[in-house]
Protein backbone atom coordinates (compact mmCIF):
# COMPACT_ATOMS: atom_id res chain seq x y z
CA UNK A 1 0.00 0.00 0.00
CA UNK A 2 1.37 3.50 -0.83
CA UNK A 3 2.46 5.71 2.05
CA UNK A 4 -0.17 8.26 1.02
CA UNK A 5 -3.71 7.41 -0.15
CA UNK A 6 -3.32 10.17 -2.72
CA UNK A 7 -0.83 7.94 -4.51
CA UNK A 8 -3.05 4.86 -4.36
CA UNK A 9 -4.67 3.53 -7.51
CA UNK A 10 -7.42 2.10 -5.29
CA UNK A 11 -8.12 4.99 -2.90
CA UNK A 12 -6.71 8.01 -4.72
CA UNK A 13 -9.97 9.07 -6.37
CA UNK A 14 -11.62 9.45 -2.97
CA UNK A 15 -9.38 12.44 -2.29
CA UNK A 16 -8.48 13.89 -5.67
CA UNK A 17 -10.28 16.30 -7.96
CA UNK A 18 -9.96 15.73 -11.70
CA UNK A 19 -10.30 19.43 -12.49
CA UNK A 20 -8.46 21.15 -9.65
CA UNK A 21 -5.91 18.44 -8.93
CA UNK A 22 -3.92 18.86 -12.16
CA UNK A 23 -3.32 22.53 -11.29
CA UNK A 24 -1.20 21.38 -8.37
CA UNK A 25 0.61 18.53 -10.04
CA UNK A 26 4.39 18.71 -10.41
CA UNK A 27 4.10 19.37 -14.13
CA UNK A 28 1.73 22.32 -13.60
CA UNK A 29 3.93 23.78 -10.89
CA UNK A 30 6.99 23.52 -13.11
CA UNK A 31 5.13 25.12 -16.02
CA UNK A 32 4.03 28.02 -13.79
CA UNK A 33 7.61 28.62 -12.62
CA UNK A 34 8.80 28.66 -16.23
CA UNK A 35 6.15 31.22 -17.15
CA UNK A 36 7.21 33.46 -14.27
CA UNK A 37 10.91 33.23 -15.19
CA UNK A 38 10.10 34.03 -18.81
CA UNK A 39 7.86 36.97 -17.98
CA UNK A 40 10.46 38.34 -15.55
CA UNK A 41 13.20 38.26 -18.18
CA UNK A 42 10.94 39.93 -20.73
CA UNK A 43 10.02 42.88 -18.49
CA UNK A 44 13.62 43.26 -17.31
CA UNK A 45 14.81 43.48 -20.91
CA UNK A 46 12.12 46.03 -21.71
CA UNK A 47 13.32 48.17 -18.81
CA UNK A 48 16.95 47.84 -19.81
CA UNK A 49 18.20 45.67 -16.96
CA UNK A 50 19.25 42.80 -19.23
CA UNK A 51 19.88 42.70 -22.99
CA UNK A 52 16.68 42.88 -24.99
CA UNK A 53 17.66 39.93 -27.18
CA UNK A 54 18.33 37.82 -24.08
CA UNK A 55 14.96 38.69 -22.56
CA UNK A 56 13.19 37.73 -25.77
CA UNK A 57 15.12 34.45 -26.00
CA UNK A 58 14.38 33.51 -22.38
CA UNK A 59 10.71 34.38 -22.73
CA UNK A 60 10.36 32.32 -25.89
CA UNK A 61 12.19 29.38 -24.34
CA UNK A 62 9.95 29.50 -21.26
CA UNK A 63 6.96 28.84 -23.50
CA UNK A 64 8.57 26.21 -25.71
CA UNK A 65 10.86 24.11 -23.52
CA UNK A 66 9.55 21.06 -21.69
CA UNK A 67 11.60 20.29 -18.59
CA UNK A 68 11.39 17.05 -16.62
CA UNK A 69 10.01 17.69 -13.13
CA UNK A 70 11.50 14.41 -11.93
CA UNK A 71 14.93 15.69 -12.82
CA UNK A 72 14.69 18.30 -10.06
CA UNK A 73 14.38 15.76 -7.26
CA UNK A 74 18.08 15.23 -6.57
CA UNK A 75 18.75 18.97 -6.47
CA UNK A 76 15.83 19.56 -4.10
CA UNK A 77 17.26 16.93 -1.80
CA UNK A 78 20.46 19.02 -1.61
CA UNK A 79 19.00 22.55 -1.50
CA UNK A 80 15.56 21.93 0.04
CA UNK A 81 14.09 24.28 -2.59
CA UNK A 82 13.43 23.54 -6.26
CA UNK A 83 14.31 26.78 -8.01
CA UNK A 84 18.12 26.42 -8.14
CA UNK A 85 17.64 23.12 -9.94
CA UNK A 86 15.01 24.65 -12.20
CA UNK A 87 17.30 27.51 -13.20
CA UNK A 88 20.17 25.11 -13.89
CA UNK A 89 17.96 22.84 -16.00
CA UNK A 90 16.46 25.84 -17.83
CA UNK A 91 19.89 27.23 -18.68
CA UNK A 92 21.13 23.87 -19.90
CA UNK A 93 18.04 23.27 -22.04
CA UNK A 94 18.34 26.69 -23.70
CA UNK A 95 21.79 25.81 -25.07
CA UNK A 96 22.51 29.53 -25.36
CA UNK A 97 24.71 30.50 -22.41
CA UNK A 98 25.02 34.12 -23.54
CA UNK A 99 21.27 34.50 -22.96
CA UNK A 100 20.67 31.88 -20.29
CA UNK A 101 22.97 33.69 -17.87
CA UNK A 102 20.20 36.28 -17.38
CA UNK A 103 17.55 33.78 -16.24
CA UNK A 104 16.34 34.56 -12.70
CA UNK A 105 18.20 37.89 -12.68
CA UNK A 106 17.89 39.52 -9.24
CA UNK A 107 15.09 37.22 -8.08
CA UNK A 108 15.02 34.62 -5.31
CA UNK A 109 13.42 31.19 -5.07
CA UNK A 110 10.41 32.32 -3.06
CA UNK A 111 9.59 34.96 -5.68
CA UNK A 112 9.19 32.31 -8.36
CA UNK A 113 7.40 29.78 -6.17
CA UNK A 114 4.89 32.23 -4.69
CA UNK A 115 4.10 33.88 -8.01
CA UNK A 116 3.69 30.49 -9.69
CA UNK A 117 1.30 29.47 -6.92
CA UNK A 118 -0.71 32.67 -7.38
CA UNK A 119 -1.20 31.84 -11.06
CA UNK A 120 -2.57 28.41 -10.22
CA UNK A 121 -4.73 29.62 -7.33
CA UNK A 122 -6.35 32.07 -9.73
CA UNK A 123 -7.46 29.16 -11.90
CA UNK A 124 -8.57 27.09 -8.92
CA UNK A 125 -10.69 29.94 -7.52
CA UNK A 126 -12.34 30.36 -10.91
CA UNK A 127 -13.34 26.70 -10.86
CA UNK A 128 -14.60 27.00 -7.29
CA UNK A 129 -16.66 30.08 -8.15
CA UNK A 130 -18.35 28.31 -11.06
CA UNK A 131 -19.10 25.25 -8.95
CA UNK A 132 -20.60 27.26 -6.09
CA UNK A 133 -22.77 29.14 -8.58
CA UNK A 134 -24.03 25.92 -10.15
CA UNK A 135 -24.68 24.37 -6.75
CA UNK A 136 -26.59 27.43 -5.51
CA UNK A 137 -28.75 27.42 -8.65
CA UNK A 138 -29.53 23.71 -8.29
CA UNK A 139 -30.43 24.13 -4.63
CA UNK A 140 -32.66 27.10 -5.42
CA UNK A 141 -34.57 25.09 -8.02
CA UNK A 142 -34.93 22.15 -5.65
CA UNK A 143 -36.04 24.34 -2.74
CA UNK A 144 -38.70 26.01 -4.88
CA UNK A 145 -39.99 22.73 -6.26
CA UNK A 146 -40.39 21.24 -2.78
CA UNK A 147 -41.44 24.19 -0.67
CA UNK A 148 -44.56 22.19 0.35
CA UNK A 149 -43.05 18.72 0.50
CA UNK A 150 -43.25 17.66 4.17
CA UNK A 151 -40.47 15.85 5.96
CA UNK A 152 -39.57 15.03 9.53
CA UNK A 153 -37.26 17.51 11.21
CA UNK A 154 -34.77 16.20 13.77
CA UNK A 155 -33.49 17.32 17.13
CA UNK A 156 -30.80 15.32 18.91
CA UNK A 157 -31.12 12.92 15.99
CA UNK A 158 -34.74 12.09 16.89
CA UNK A 159 -37.96 12.81 14.99
CA UNK A 160 -39.35 16.21 15.98
CA UNK A 161 -41.80 18.49 14.17
CA UNK A 162 -42.69 18.60 10.49
CA UNK A 163 -40.75 20.87 8.19
CA UNK A 164 -40.54 20.95 4.42
CA UNK A 165 -37.86 19.54 2.21
CA UNK A 166 -37.71 22.90 0.42
CA UNK A 167 -36.94 24.74 3.68
CA UNK A 168 -34.17 22.26 4.44
CA UNK A 169 -32.63 22.68 1.01
CA UNK A 170 -32.86 26.47 1.31
CA UNK A 171 -30.91 26.28 4.58
CA UNK A 172 -28.16 24.48 2.66
CA UNK A 173 -28.07 27.15 -0.03
CA UNK A 174 -27.77 30.32 2.03
CA UNK A 175 -24.23 29.64 3.33
CA UNK A 176 -23.16 28.71 -0.19
CA UNK A 177 -24.24 32.15 -1.41
CA UNK A 178 -22.48 33.87 1.49
CA UNK A 179 -19.22 32.09 0.85
CA UNK A 180 -19.39 32.69 -2.89
CA UNK A 181 -19.78 36.40 -2.18
CA UNK A 182 -16.48 36.23 -0.24
CA UNK A 183 -14.48 34.83 -3.14
CA UNK A 184 -13.52 38.27 -4.56
CA UNK A 185 -11.84 39.13 -1.25
CA UNK A 186 -10.02 35.80 -1.29
CA UNK A 187 -8.81 36.52 -4.82
CA UNK A 188 -7.51 39.87 -3.63
CA UNK A 189 -5.58 38.06 -0.89
CA UNK A 190 -3.78 35.59 -3.13
CA UNK A 191 -3.47 37.06 -6.61
CA UNK A 192 -0.28 39.03 -6.04
CA UNK A 193 3.06 38.82 -7.74
CA UNK A 194 6.03 38.20 -5.47
CA UNK A 195 9.28 39.90 -6.40
CA UNK A 196 11.54 40.88 -3.52
CA UNK A 197 14.98 39.46 -4.18
CA UNK A 198 17.07 37.61 -1.64
CA UNK A 199 16.75 40.23 1.13
CA UNK A 200 13.43 41.81 0.20
CA UNK A 201 15.03 44.96 -1.23
CA UNK A 202 15.41 44.12 -4.96
CA UNK A 203 18.89 45.60 -4.63
CA UNK A 204 20.20 43.68 -7.67
CA UNK A 205 17.80 45.67 -9.85
CA UNK A 206 18.98 49.02 -8.60
CA UNK A 207 16.35 51.72 -8.50
CA UNK A 208 14.17 49.90 -11.02
CA UNK A 209 13.05 47.13 -8.68
CA UNK A 210 9.54 48.47 -7.98
CA UNK A 211 9.08 49.23 -11.68
CA UNK A 212 10.05 45.65 -12.58
CA UNK A 213 7.64 44.26 -9.99
CA UNK A 214 4.76 46.37 -11.32
CA UNK A 215 5.53 45.37 -14.92
CA UNK A 216 5.75 41.69 -13.98
CA UNK A 217 2.41 41.90 -12.20
CA UNK A 218 0.82 43.44 -15.29
CA UNK A 219 2.39 40.85 -17.59
CA UNK A 220 1.01 37.97 -15.53
CA UNK A 221 -2.36 39.54 -14.77
CA UNK A 222 -1.67 39.67 -11.04
CA UNK A 223 -1.68 42.47 -8.49
CA UNK A 224 1.33 44.51 -7.43
CA UNK A 225 1.71 44.27 -3.63
CA UNK A 226 3.83 47.47 -3.59
CA UNK A 227 6.27 45.80 -1.18
CA UNK A 228 7.89 42.53 -0.18
CA UNK A 229 5.57 39.98 1.40
CA UNK A 230 8.04 37.12 1.94
CA UNK A 231 7.44 37.14 5.69
CA UNK A 232 3.73 38.01 5.50
CA UNK A 233 1.84 34.75 5.23
CA UNK A 234 -1.76 35.84 5.78
CA UNK A 235 -4.07 32.84 5.47
CA UNK A 236 -6.52 32.61 2.63
CA UNK A 237 -10.12 31.81 3.47
CA UNK A 238 -11.05 29.48 0.61
CA UNK A 239 -11.07 26.44 2.90
CA UNK A 240 -14.05 27.86 4.78
CA UNK A 241 -16.31 27.14 1.83
CA UNK A 242 -16.12 23.44 2.70
CA UNK A 243 -18.00 24.07 5.95
CA UNK A 244 -21.48 24.62 4.45
CA UNK A 245 -21.09 21.48 2.33
CA UNK A 246 -20.79 19.25 5.39
CA UNK A 247 -24.47 19.50 6.46
CA UNK A 248 -25.52 18.59 2.93
CA UNK A 249 -23.28 15.53 2.94
CA UNK A 250 -24.62 14.53 6.35
CA UNK A 251 -28.29 15.11 5.56
CA UNK A 252 -28.71 13.85 2.02
CA UNK A 253 -28.25 10.11 2.75
CA UNK A 254 -30.98 10.32 5.42
CA UNK A 255 -33.35 12.48 3.36
CA UNK A 256 -35.35 9.63 1.76
CA UNK A 257 -36.05 8.06 5.16
CA UNK A 258 -37.11 11.38 6.65
CA UNK A 259 -39.41 12.08 3.73
CA UNK A 260 -41.02 8.65 3.63
CA UNK A 261 -41.39 8.39 7.42
CA UNK A 262 -43.62 11.45 7.64
CA UNK A 263 -46.82 9.43 8.06
CA UNK A 264 -50.02 10.24 9.87
CA UNK A 265 -49.37 7.42 12.34
CA UNK A 266 -45.98 8.76 13.40
CA UNK A 267 -46.85 12.41 13.16
CA UNK A 268 -50.50 12.32 14.27
CA UNK A 269 -52.13 15.71 14.40
CA UNK A 270 -49.32 17.35 12.45
CA UNK A 271 -49.95 16.22 8.89
CA UNK A 272 -52.59 13.97 7.39
CA UNK A 273 -50.44 12.49 4.74
CA UNK A 274 -46.90 12.30 3.48
CA UNK A 275 -45.81 13.31 0.03
CA UNK A 276 -43.20 11.20 -1.60
CA UNK A 277 -40.28 12.70 -3.44
CA UNK A 278 -39.44 11.07 -6.78
CA UNK A 279 -36.06 10.13 -8.14
CA UNK A 280 -35.95 12.95 -10.74
CA UNK A 281 -36.38 15.64 -8.09
CA UNK A 282 -33.89 14.34 -5.54
CA UNK A 283 -31.36 13.43 -8.22
CA UNK A 284 -30.19 17.05 -8.32
CA UNK A 285 -28.84 16.64 -4.80
CA UNK A 286 -28.18 12.90 -4.39
CA UNK A 287 -28.66 10.81 -7.54
CA UNK A 288 -27.99 7.56 -5.68
CA UNK A 289 -30.21 8.24 -2.69
CA UNK A 290 -33.58 9.17 -4.20
CA UNK A 291 -36.60 6.99 -3.50
CA UNK A 292 -39.73 6.39 -5.51
CA UNK A 293 -41.55 4.39 -2.83
CA UNK A 294 -44.84 5.94 -1.74
CA UNK A 295 -45.42 6.69 1.92
CA UNK A 296 -47.55 4.09 3.72
The answer to whether the CB of 263 falls within 8 A of the CB of 276 is no
- Indicate whether 6 pLDDT > 50: yes
Q: What is the pLDDT of residues 182-191, one digit of tens each?
A: 999 888 888 9
The answer to whether the CB of 237 falls within 8 A of the CB of 186 is yes
pLDDT of residue 97: 96
- Indicate whether 243 pLDDT > 90: no
Q: What is the pLDDT of residues 136-175, one digit of tens each?
A: 999 999 999 998 899 888 888 788 888 888 998 998 998 9
- Indicate whether 238 pLDDT > 70: no
For the four alpha carbons of 192, 195, 196 and 197, in that order, the dihedral sign comes to positive
For CATH 1.10.275.10, the residue range(s) in the chain are: 1-105
Rg (CA), the chain: 27
Q: What is the CATH number of domain 1-105?
A: 1.10.275.10
- Indicate whether 32 pLDDT > 80: yes
Q: Hey, what long-range contacts does 113-117 have (CB within 8 A, 24 or more apart)?
A: 113/33, 113/81, 113/82, 113/83, 114/194, 115/32, 115/36, 115/193, 115/194, 115/195, 115/216, 115/220, 115/222, 116/29, 116/32, 116/33, 116/35, 116/36, 117/29, 117/32
Cα 90-52-210 angle, rounded to 5 deg? 85
Q: What dihedral do alpha carbons 100, 105, 109, 111 form, nearest 10°?
A: -130
Element (H, E) at 162: strand 158-164
* Mean pLDDT confidence for 127-135: 95
Question: Which residues 6+ apart lie within 8 Å of 116 measured at CB?
Answer: 29, 32, 33, 35, 36
Range 107-296 has CATH code 1.10.1370.40: no
For CATH 1.20.200.10, the residue range(s) in the chain are: 107-296
Highest averaged pLDDT of the listed ranges 14-18, 22-26, 73-77, 100-104: 100-104
User: Band of the pLDDT at 262, cuts 50, 70, 90?
Assistant: low
User: Band of the pLDDT at 108, cuts 50, 70, 90?
Assistant: very high
The residue with greater pLDDT, 285 or 206, is 206
Q: What is the chain's mean pLDDT, rounded?
A: 83
- Indicate whether 279 pLDDT > 60: no
Q: What dihedral do alpha carbons 261, 264, 265, 268 form, nearest 10°?
A: 120
- Indicate whether 54 pLDDT > 90: yes
- Indicate whether 114 pLDDT > 50: yes
Cα 236-241-246 angle, rounded to 5 deg? 140
pLDDT of residue 261: 52
% of the chain at pLDDT higher than 70: 78
Amino acid sequence: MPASPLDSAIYGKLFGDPEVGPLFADSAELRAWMLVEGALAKVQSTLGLIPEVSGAAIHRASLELQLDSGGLGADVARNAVPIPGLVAAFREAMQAPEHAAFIHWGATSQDIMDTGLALRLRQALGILDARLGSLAAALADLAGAHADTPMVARTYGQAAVVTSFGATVASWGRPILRHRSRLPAIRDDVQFVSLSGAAGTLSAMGGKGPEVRAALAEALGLGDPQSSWHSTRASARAARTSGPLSPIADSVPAAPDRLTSCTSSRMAGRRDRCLRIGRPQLAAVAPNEATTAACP
